Every structure is written in C-alpha cells, then in structure tokens.
A = this chain, B = another copy of it.
Amino acid sequence: MVSARGLDVLRVIVQDYVATREPVGSKSIVERHSFGVSAATIRNDMVLLEDEELITAPHTSSGRVPTDKGYRMFVDQLADLRPLTGAQRQAIESFLGQADDLDDVLARSVRLLSQLTNSVALVQYPSLATARVRHVELVPLHATRIMTVFITDSGRVEQRLIDVSETVDEAFLGEVRAKLNSALMGQALPEAADRLASFADIFPVERQSFVAQIASSLVEQVLANRADKLVLAGTANLARTEQDFTGSIFPVLEAIEEQVTLLRLFGEMEVANGSVSTRIGRENAEFGLEETSVVTGGYSSSGGGVSRLGVLGPTRMDYSNNMAAVRAVARYLSRLLEDN
C-alpha cells in the first residue's frame, strides 16, 4: 500500500513535527525537503498514510501529525540511530569518569542522560536479584540495638537497625559476624535467605533466640531490598514540553513520583544488554502515561544482573537522539560497573 516514498514522507513528518511542534502540511514538506515531486503528490501519499492510521489531521484543514502507530513505525524502521557527537562522547567520559562510589556514578549518569535528552531520565540501581553477598557487618549501637550492614558484590550497601531483647555481648557478636560471613559470603540472595533460616541452629541453645533475631531481620532485609531503587533527574524538562500534553502535566508528574509504577514499567520492557527498546504513547496506558513515551536500555554490573535505565518524555520526542543517548550511557555504565 504505502510506497517507499510514502515512508519517506512519514519520516519527514515525524522529524518536522518533532522539531516544530506544528502539524506539517504538504507544501512545507516540498519546501523543506527535496522530494522532486509536487505538493499534490505528497498529498496523495498522505492520504494512504492516513488510511493506514500512521498519521492523522487534528482538524480538517490542517497539516498532519504522526499517530502512536506512526511513531512506532518510525522507531522500528525509519529512525537512524545517529551516533553521538564527539563533544557528547567526551561529556560522558569526563562527567562519569570523576565519580567515586556507586551512588555517585548513578547520580551522575541520570543527570547526564537528562541533559543529553532534555527529558526525564531514570536509572535503576543494580539489581539485587542476581547479586551475591560480599560481606555482612554487625555494629552494636546501644545495649540492645544493633545495626546490620549488608554489602553485595554489585557495590550496594544496605543498613538496618534491630532492637534485640537482651544485652549485646560484643565478643559473641564478633563470633556471630564471623560465622555469618563464612555462611553467606558469595551466596546469591535467595540462597542467603535460605541459609539464614536455619542459621541459629549451629549455636548453643541458650544463644539461639538472640541469633535468631538477627537472622530473621537479615532475611527481611534481603527480601525487602529486592524491590529495586530508582534515581531520576530532569523533571523540570517536563514543564518545558507542557504543551505536548492535553491536560496538565500533573498526572505525569504523579506517575513519576510513584516509583513502583516506573519499576513495573521497566519490568515489562525486555532489554538485551546493549540494545534499546521503546514504548510509545498508549502502549503505556496501563500506567497512566498514555501521552508519554519511554526509551529503555539495559546495563550490566559486576553482579551479572542486567538493570535498566531510560528516559521518559512526551510522545512527541526526538527518538533518534534519545535512543542513541540511552544506548551510549548504558554501554558506558556497563563498562564502568563491570570492572568492579
């Protein structure tokens, strides 16, 4: 149905509309691009594109605008993932290179990504699901209060407070610490939880209740922290593209604050390491984000798991640029975190 030139027309409609935020008409197409045919011919092509529901006219006498389906076609077949400019690459290098710990790396990544894309950027913390236990630390704080610190090989550190029912014996706590570490070191988290369940058994009966309190709290900690954390940046960019949303940007901001929503969204997008995937407009309807698109990529960390990062913005976004930026940052991040 739709000719090769028809697809070219779709491409420039997407590009021009993204650039100008204005419905694009047949005349402006022949002016701005050299198709070598007249406006009337373009119009004929546009009728076909409209039949396929790839573009639509906001009102009778107006230019065309891509539909969600049109964007989808553009992303799948027409977008050229233009490589980043040298300046951009250098920005990534120099900006991420200075980071010192995991928090810092992720904070810098997300800011960078939001700057490169003028959108809201999201970075998920390295997944704990496949992480392994590196170290467990028990720190006595008060007579009956202990802080447990939990370190994974993905570089993540989690702490928690426990109130125990009896006075802490520091020497004995040292023994528990040593045994905990030898039991858990190198275990994946689900296995670690298993081992913790029966951990108290190896201690003398009179100590078991004390140890069990520590162990059960650690189990909770291990399991609870599977819920992944998210950092975000560039929320202000939403306000700049406000006109792209029919109503207010309020529901969008709301959905963004609800990190659980975003994590579910991330979870539904499959991302081979190094590639990017995209969700467009109403494809996100279940999350209350029917007017936004999300570009997601995966990065891997030393734990071996793949976590996600991406950008979120109005459906009318610069997909080429954003996909390239997400891919570049994801790759750089993988390189940085796999070294650990």
Q: Which residues of A contact B (CB under 8 A)?
A: 100-102, 134-135, 137, 139, 141-142, 145, 147, 149, 151, 153, 155, 157, 159-161, 233-236, 238-240, 242, 248-250, 253-254, 256-257, 340
Known: A100-B161, A235-B253, A239-B248. 6 other contacts (CB 8 A): A100-B160, A134-B147, A141-B153, A147-B155, A235-B257, A239-B250
Q: Are B147 and A151 in contact (CB under 8 A)?
A: yes
A214 to chain B, nearest CB (A): 14
Q: Which residue of B lies closest to A157 (CB)?
A: B159
Contacts of A159 in B (CB 8 A): 101-102, 151, 157
A256 to chain B, nearest CB (A): 8
- Which residues of B have CB within 8 Å of A135? 139, 147
Query: Which residues in B have their C-beta under 8 angstroms from that of A254?
Result: 236
Question: What 4 pairs between A and B have smallest CB-CB spacing?
Answer: A236-B253, A239-B250, A236-B254, A157-B159
Q: Would you call the interface of chain A mostly helix, strand, loop, or mixed?
A: mixed
Q: Which residues does chain B contribute within 8 Å of A139, judged by CB atoms? A: 134-135, 137, 151
Q: Which of B141, B234, B238 contacts A134 (CB 8 A)?
A: B141
Across the interface, A101 reaches (CB within 8 A) one of B161, B235, B248, B249, namely: B161
Contacting residues, chain B, for A240 (C-beta < 8 A): 248, 250
A308 to B151, CA, bound (A): 30
Cross-chain contact B151 with A155 (CB below 8 angstroms): no
**Could you name 22 residue pairs across A and B whose Cβ atoms are closer than 8 Å?**
A101-B160, A101-B161, A134-B139, A134-B141, A135-B139, A135-B147, A137-B137, A137-B139, A137-B149, A141-B153, A145-B340, A151-B159, A155-B161, A157-B157, A234-B257, A235-B235, A235-B257, A239-B239, A239-B250, A239-B253, A240-B248, A240-B250
CB distance from A191 to the nearest CB of B (A): 20
Give the residues in chain B near A234, CB-CB below 8 Å. Answer: 257
Measured in the bound complex, the distance between the Cα atoms of B5 and A33 in whole Å is: 70
Given contacts A135-B139, A233-B257, A250-B240, contact A157 B149 (CB under 8 A): yes
Tell me the minimal C-beta distance from A111 to chain B in angstroms. Answer: 9
A250 vs B254: C-alpha distance in the bound complex, in angstroms?
Answer: 16
Among B142, B153, B239, B257, the residue within 8 A (CB) of A249 is B239
Task: Say yes or no: A242-B236 contact (C-beta < 8 A), given A137-B137, A151-B149, A161-B101.
Answer: no
Contacts of A155 in B (CB 8 A): 147, 161
In the bound complex, how far is the Cα of B245 from the Cα of A242, in angstroms?
14
A256 to B236, CA, bound (A): 9
* Most chain B CB within a 10 A radius of its CB, from A155, A233, A239: A239
With the chains together, A153 CA to B141 CA distance in Å? 8
Chain B residue nearest to A162 (CB atoms) is: B100
Q: How far is the CB of A235 from chain B (nearest CB, A)?
A: 6
In the bound complex, how far is the Cα of B206 from the Cα of A10, in angstroms? 71
> What is the distance, in angstroms, from A263's C-beta to the closest C-beta of chain B?
15
Known: A134-B141, A147-B151. A242 touches B233 (CB 8 A): no
Q: In the complex, what residues of B have CB within 8 A of residue A153's CB?
A: 141
